[in-house]
Structure 1
Amino acid sequence: ARLLPSTGPTMLSWTFPQLLPGGRLRGKSTMVESSRFCVDTRGEGRGGRFLHEATLTMFAGIIEWSMSNGFDEIATATDVRLERILQRAGWPMTHLGGVELIGETMSVASILPADQASFDRVCPPGYRSDLRRLQRVAA
């Protein structure tokens, strides 16, 4: 995943403005934009809710990183297939605009919460984070 502050140039505003009301993301200091989400799920490891453990781990890591860096919302442009995966994980999206066909992909811009409740819902059993330990070492 790529996570960038929403106060700078964003994929949503520059590449997918048709997904946004007015064609512009109203970024803020507590919002990060997520793009380029990719997980290799070819191996073993189906987790809860019939999703791969790697997918749930990636979702938990994104939320944990966002919270630890002062972000409470994640803006994203995605296809509706990933939206269904997010819903199965218990991490529902709030649409910013309508669903649009881009190329051959039904796409949507949305906001995801980056909060403890979302983390708790997506976090797979056995999730272990070194993020807090690494932050203590850096301090």
Structure 2
Amino acid sequence: MHLLAQWKAITTSANQAFAHERYDQACCYYQQAFTLLVQQWPEANNIMLVATGTDIESLVVCLSISAQNLAEAHARQGSHRRCLSLLRRTLQRLSDWHRHQLLPPEVEEVVLGECSQLWRELCRQQQMAGQRQARLH
């Protein structure tokens, strides 16, 4: 099965679990989807992606979506540190990759857009974690 088709099937199962508030199960599926993409991540060059027919833009977007979904599932379980850590690590991964690769303009645009999305989600989750912490005191 094609990489993104596998990702979509796993993510669909995760979304169904999330919609039914089965956050443990959703986390497991979201983690599978995230790991699937991380294992295929292009480090030094993009030869592997060309060989498998996966376009880099889709990989970047799906990785970002997976990180945000998994982070939200962690937050719903009260695991705010895991949520924030995941968002930070993913943002760092994309930023580092962007900095060390010579990317075509269309790929660079997608990477920067997803970095912005991850940054906004990180800020939102930090704010929500802070509000929860304030209510506890």
Regarding TM over 0.5, the answer is no
More helix by share: 2
Q: Normalised by the size of structure 2, how large is the TM-score? A: 0.29
The structure whose RCO (Cα within 8 Å, separation 6+) is larger is 1
